[in-house]
Amino acid sequence: MTATAPRDEQLWSRCAGCASLLYRKRLRRNLDVCPECGAHARLGAPERLRQLVDPGSLRPLPDRLPEADPIDFVDVLPYPHRLTAARTSTGLSEAVVCGTATIGGHLAVLAVMDFRFLGGSLGCAVGELITQAAERALDDGVPLILVTASGGARMQEGVLSLMQMATVSQAIAALREAGLLTVSVLTDPTYGGVAASFATNTDLVLAESGARMGFAGPRVIRQVTGRALPEGFQTADFLLRHGQVDMVVQRRSLRGRLMALLAATGSARPPRSAVPRQESAPRRERLADAPVAEPAPADRDAWDTVRVARHPGRPTTLDYLDSVFDGFVELHGDRLGADCPAVVGGVARLDGRHVMVIGHQKGHTTAELVARNFGMASPAGHRKALRLMRLAARLGLPVITLVDTPGADPGVGAEEQGQAAAIAENILTLTVLPTPVLAVITGEGGSGGALALAVADRVLMLEHAVYSVISPEGCAAILWPDRSAAPQAARALRLTAPDLCRLGVIDEVVPEPTPAAHDDPAETARRLRAALLANLLPLLDVPTATLVRRRRQRFRRFGAARATFRAGAR
């Protein structure tokens, strides 16, 4: 909100809301809220904590993690240079500060993001620190309060940053199971992967006055839709009107409101050590047990692979439902008012076994693609998928997902209907779904929209599919001088099957016929079917509790532990 980031040594600062020149000390006394127009300036994490917690009660949690550059990312600057600059300018180790504290005498664990640090982006270290904070809340039996400020996932850490959405979500799921309150406080701005995970899958969601939150940013939505955005789009009041937040709170009331909520919901629970441990937290040394990735086929250029993955002739989910499965019965609707054509799902048989299949549907012709919104799911699509996942668990059916989407629908309507929260709920639910889940990236695995169907016990990927935190074009537009650097961005993002196999994000590459799936769909289907059976059958014998515990471990190890592993390997 404020372009003129006020520094302590400055005596005056200009309000970004009304352009008034304000005496710095007066502004700070007013909690950095403009006394003239009420605009809430952005706060760094240390100042936010100072405003919220009882004086002297803050006990910071460790914030030092091993240096992380998991994919050796270089754009015009190497990623470690950007990290060093962020540390120097903010005095922080990372984009989140965590600690235990009391608020009006109620003990809680807090994780507060800082937008000044690389746009508050969610990378492996941030995911690990917030997960550790959530685990501390679980151990201590106290509520977790998350204050979010983020542009989204940290693209310099590639798809590993996307995995953090699942890692933190499953820690939130553990708090849900334990009956411990989770609260998120949305501050300006909260977007992308943070919005579509722990900012919205908490029990309570508060929005600070003037905060904006959404899955897709306004610039992207304007570009895609070519329309002007409605007045006040994605602001706290807009979110309240559309049923996406519990309340909008002025900064001066925030501490009091949190106190009241902690008091009303009863923050006391027996500490975790006093109750039987349901899920043992995976420890670093378990990395040694991490499944060894299958040998990957020879690399081809990442940009060529992107083009193959988007080929209009590539088999779609409905093609596979016809060729790989038998007896597909499509089920429709989210039961809340819509049926999204970009997601198809229903019961089917795989080699005689009943399964629930859910996948993104694109199309081969322009008319088909338009009718299916290019495979970009709306919130209704995510909620239909969620309904079918839960139904499968109740019926004891394994879930097979086929992922092929450029990303979730970045439209005005999607934002109004809660795209971020819909994705967040799917991710959280999949981390604990009590039935086997097998995911296949068949074409494009685009960002949070892909992850909403790809938190699974086993994640497979067709040889020429791609899976990425952001499109190469989007990444190039942000980090390079222009979008023509998309081929370089594609290489830097490590989005191909062999790369993701090496990173442990996927478990197995399904080879395609030469040169690619669209040249021989029948042979592709035969190979996919064999891979599905080989991966599904062993899962059917695993007791459900073990299955869910292993799935959690799978997504838990994508934190900084992963970075340790890589750093040690160098």
Chain residues binding Zn ion by CB under 5 A are 15, 17-18, 20, 34, 36-37, 39
Query: How near is the Cβ of 236 to Zn ion at its closest, in Å?
Result: 17
Query: How near is the Cβ of 386 to Zn ion at its closest, in Å?
Result: 42
User: Which is closer to Zn ion, CB of 11 or CB of 228?
Assistant: 11
Could you tell me which residues come within 8 angstroms of residue 341 by beta carbon, excluding any fewer than 6 positions away? 361, 371, 372, 373
Distances (CA, A) of 252 to 31, 205, 260, 404: 7, 17, 14, 45
d(CA 348, CA 326): 6
The residues facing 326 across adjacent strands are 349
The burial of 275, by beta-carbon neighbours within 10 Å (0-12 exposed, 13-18 middle, 19 or more buried), is given as: exposed
Angle, alpha carbons 154-84-15 (nearest 5°): 75
Query: How near is the Cβ of 97 to Zn ion at its closest, in Å?
Result: 27
Query: How near is the Cβ of 28 to Zn ion at its closest, in Å?
Result: 15
User: Which is closer to Zn ion, CB of 17 or CB of 80?
Assistant: 17
Kindly write down the DSSP assignment for every residue of 523-546, as one continuous string.
Answer: HHHHHHHHHHHHHHHHHHTS-HHH
User: Which is closer to Zn ion, CB of 210 or CB of 217?
Assistant: 210
Q: For the chain, what percentages of helix, strand and coil (3-state, to nearest 5) are there?
A: 45, 20, 40
The residues facing 400 across adjacent strands are 357, 438
User: Which is closer to Zn ion, CB of 37 or CB of 275?
Assistant: 37
User: Which is closer to Zn ion, CB of 18 or CB of 263?
Assistant: 18
Query: How near is the Cβ of 22 to Zn ion at its closest, in Å?
Result: 7
Query: How near is the Cβ of 26 to Zn ion at its closest, in Å?
Result: 12
Name the residue type at position 387: R
Instruction: Let me know: does 375 contact 360? Beta carbons within 8 Å.
Output: yes
3-state secondary structure of 39: coil
Query: How near is the Cβ of 32 to Zn ion at its closest, in Å?
Result: 11
User: Which is closer to Zn ion, CB of 13 or CB of 132?
Assistant: 13
User: Which is closer to Zn ion, CB of 2 or CB of 57?
Assistant: 2
Query: How near is the Cβ of 211 to Zn ion at its closest, in Å?
Result: 16
Residue 186: both structure tokens together: 């949305």
H/E segment holding residue 565: helix 560-569
User: Which is closer to Zn ion, CB of 34 or CB of 469?
Assistant: 34
Query: How near is the Cβ of 37 to Zn ion at its closest, in Å?
Result: 3
Kindly write down the DSSP assignment for every residue of 354-368, as one continuous string.
Answer: EEEEEEE---SSHHH
User: Which is closer to Zn ion, CB of 37 or CB of 247?
Assistant: 37
The residues facing 111 across adjacent strands are 98, 146
The residues facing 362 across adjacent strands are none
Angle, alpha carbons 214-215-220 (nearest 5°): 95
